[in-house]
A and B are shown apart, each in its own frame.
Chain A
Amino acid sequence: MSTAPTHAPRIERKPLAQRLAPHLPMLLIPALMLLGLALIPSVPSWLTLTVSGLAMGMMIFVMASGMTLVFGLMDVINFGHGVFISVGAFVGVSVLLMLDHLTGAPSMVMALAAILLAVIAAILATGALGWAFERVIVKPVYGAHLKQILVTMGGLIVVEQLIIVLWGPEEIYIPRPEALKGAVTFAGAAMEKYRLLAVGVGAALFLAMRLVLRRTKIGLIVRAGVENGEMVEALGYRLRMVFIGVFVAGSALAGLGGVMWGLYQEVITAHMGQQIMILIFIVVIIGGLGSVEGCFIGALLVGLLQNYVAFLEPKAALISNIGLLVAILMWRPMGMIPVVKAK
């Protein structure tokens, strides 16, 4: 970074409402938590639900982040993104099933080591698959949304079917490692260990992603590319290479999320990715297509809302997300953090 001049910026103070506006989406998360606290009669239940909501939200964020960036950068809408979740889960779970001597032991270190190995395998597999997917499926249909939706959907069907060919049509049950079973009790609320881990991993990934996007040159190129890809190219950067990198990274993140989600549900199916895609679409739309921060906020909102509503009125859980989608789009039609495209 260059040396900053000593001059102090004089930015006029804007009225409070205007200064607050950009942060409103972030404030929705505590607001929703407070609303939950008001509606849920017992505080420990609320705490339990909040933790599971955050865990769910973080996992959705991990799975969704790649999709939103891919769209932002190249205007590519990948309806097949969910298949990386499924593939990640199957590869990761296969590794975990092979490592039963590690997962069966009561040691936390061994459990985490097993999960780490599974995650690495999943990331490698989905990263490679992402690269192939980009080359074969996505590249020929740049710039044509309609074809992109159709072709990526077709890719999803094919890869899903290949999962069934390789692993069989049955769902696979996967118990969590011994050391991650059970819950810790805090303030009278039971919080599953695994969910706490998921919250930690998700938050760490979000912060890491933010850091990369804000503090590294490649991050600057990605952010600039989301806004105006043509200008990034005119400054001499090969956007296409950056895009492939982001696509592969996004696929790998989806694969990582798939392992996490599989262990969370303790069962995996070839269609799991497709099912989660529905939540992912809601999240990326309400977040603002192309915005990583918006995706994060959207994911947490969806996770929390789903858990609160499932407790208060189980049958309304899925509909609640649609309600959230409608409410947010009425407030901000382009999503909470709209990405303004140049041109």
Chain B
Amino acid sequence: MSDPILSLEGVYTDIAQYHILQGVDFTVPRGAVTMLLGRNGVGKTTTLRTIMGHWRARAGSITFDGIDITRLPTPAIARMGVGYVPETMGIFADLTVEENMILAAASGRLDPARLERIFAAFPPLKTFWKGQAGTLSGGQKQMLSIARAMAEDRRLYLIDEPTKGLAPAIVATMAGALKALKNEGASILMVEQNFAVARALGDFAVVMDDGRVIWSGTMAELVGDGLLQERLMGLSLAAGH
């Protein structure tokens, strides 16, 4: 794992009086999918939000492509080429699907070829292109949120639980689109509770507990070792499938 795209060293984050992250260390290799795993409430979302600069790390450092971004404001981090799909999806309900996409492209112009690819992956976005994003279904909003991250080439994608609460058919669509993104050679850091999806997409895995990283390695290692999974997450392979 030489020259990672992103590395966190001893990151501590507090939210109000609570110490959520307590020394998070891990790296995200280039051109691969890294899965951030762990039970609910161990700090996975907080980790992504800290990388984005939504929360400020109290201590530690975050390095993106060789540059220290720990103290940079959110817009600056985004402009360096980080695409972010928050857990809450962050759709602008009052704007149309098209306007949501326009905002996602820093240049204000959407590349037609890229748009066709997005439409191929997420047909409903084409259907409701001029419609208000607020009227989309939950799955369609998730598609839009991911599509927004894909509106331009990003150096890193941060994707927070893209399959949360979705029907199985839509989970498959989502997984397919993410697979295509992976095949293009994108670097992705993703939080995923659905272990089947995580296993299918992930190259590497980082497991968190209580605001710390308790294990990291390749996905193959984790998949191959049922006892390890049991110990780390209390989940078994069968749980997802």
Task: Kindly provide the distance from the CB of A68 to the nearest chain B CB, expressed in whole angstroms.
Answer: 15
Pick from A5, A11, A236, A343 the residue with the most CB of B within 10 Å. Answer: A236
Contacts of B126 in A (CB 8 A): 5, 7
Which residue of chain B has the shortest Cβ distance to A217 in the bound complex? B108
Report whether B103 and A2 are in contact in the complex, using a CB–CB cutoff of 8 Å: no
Contacting B at CB under 8 A, from A224-246, are 224, 226-228, 230-239
Choose among B52, B86, B102 the residue that contacts A220 (Cβ–Cβ < 8 A). Answer: B102
Chain B residue, CB-CB nearest to A238: B75
CB contacts (< 8 Å) of B94 on chain A: these are 223-224, 226-227, 340
User: Knowing A230-B54, A235-B148, A342-B88 touch, does A9 contact B130 (C-beta < 8 A)?
Assistant: yes
- From residue 1 to 57 of chain A, which have CB atoms closer than 8 A to chain B? 1-5, 7, 9-11
A253 partner residues in chain B, CB cutoff 8 A: none
Identify which of B109-117, B164-172, B180-188, B190-198 touches chain A: B109-117
For window 110-161 of B, CB contacts with A under 8 Å fall at 110, 112, 115, 119, 126-131, 135, 148
Q: Are B102 and A343 in contact (CB under 8 A)?
A: no
Residue A138 is within 8 A (CB to CB) of chain B in the complex? no
- B102: contacting residue among A217, A230, A236, CB under 8 A: A217
In the bound complex, how far is the Cα of B74 from the Cα of A238, in angstroms? Answer: 8
- CB neighbours of B78 from chain A (8 A): 233-236
Nearest CB in chain B to that of A5: its residue: B126
Other-chain contact of A236, B75, B90, B119 (Cβ < 8 Å): B75
Query: A236 to B106, Cβ gap below 8 A?
Result: yes
Counting chain A residues whose Cβ lies within 8 A of the other chain, the interface size class is: 20 to 34
* The residue from B86, B99, B127 contacting A9, defined by CB atoms under 8 A apart: B127
Neighbouring B residues of A2 by C-beta, 8 Å: 98, 101-102, 109-110, 112, 115
Q: Known contacts A11-B131, A235-B78; is A223 also within 8 Å of B88 by CB?
A: no
B231 at interface by CB-CB < 8 Å:
no
Contact B95 A10 (CB under 8 A): no
**Residues of A contacting B109 in the complex (Cβ-Cβ under 8 angstroms):** 2
A237 and B93 CA atoms in complex are apart in Å by 18
Count how many pairs of residues, one from A and one from B, have CB atoms less than 8 Å apart in the complex. 93
* Interface size range of chain B in the complex: 35 or more
Q: Which residues of A contact B84 (CB under 8 A)?
A: 234
| A10 touching B75 in the complex, CB below 8 Å, given contacts A3-B112, A227-B93, A235-B148 | no
Asked whether A234 lies within 8 Å of B106 as measured between CB atoms, the reply is: no
A63: interface (CB < 8 Å): no
B41 within 8 A of A: no
Q: In the complex, what's the smallest C-beta–C-beta distance from B148 to chain A, in angstroms?
A: 7
- Least CB distance from B98 to A in Å reads 7
- Check if B92 sits within 8 Å of A223, measured CB to CB: yes
Contact indicator A7/B90 (Cβ below 8 Å): no
A4–B115 contact, CB under 8 A?
Answer: no
- Is there a chain B Cβ closer than 8 Å to A129's Cβ? no
Point out which of B92, B98, B101, B108 has the most chain A C-beta atoms below 10 A from its C-beta.
Answer: B92
B79-100 interface bits toward A, Cβ cutoff 8 Å, 1 = contact, 0 = none: 1000010101011111100111
Distance A150 CA – B188 CA, assembled complex (angstroms): 46
CB distance from B31 to the nearest CB of A (A): 23
Contacts of A238 in B (CB 8 A): 73, 75
With A234-B74, A236-B79, A342-B88 in contact, is A7–B103 under 8 Å at CB? Answer: no
Q: Which of B45-83 contact A (CB under 8 A)?
A: 52, 54, 73-75, 78-79
Residues of chain B touching chain A, judged by Cβ–Cβ distance below 8 Å, are 52, 54, 73-75, 78-79, 84, 86, 88, 90-95, 98-104, 106, 108-110, 112, 115, 119, 126-131, 135, 148
Cβ-closest 8 pairs across A and B:
A231-B90, A236-B78, A233-B74, A2-B110, A224-B92, A236-B79, A234-B84, A238-B75
Ordered by A's residue number, 5 sampled pairs between the chains whose C-beta atoms are within 8 Å are A2-B115, A9-B129, A9-B130, A224-B94, A236-B75
Query: Residues of A with Cβ closer than 8 Å to B?
Result: 1-5, 7, 9-11, 217, 220-221, 223-224, 226-228, 230-239, 340, 342-343
Instruction: For the A-B complex with A233-B74, A239-B75 known, give 11 more contacts whose Cβ atoms are closer than 8 Å.
Output: A2-B109, A2-B115, A7-B127, A220-B99, A220-B103, A223-B94, A224-B103, A231-B90, A232-B103, A234-B74, A234-B84
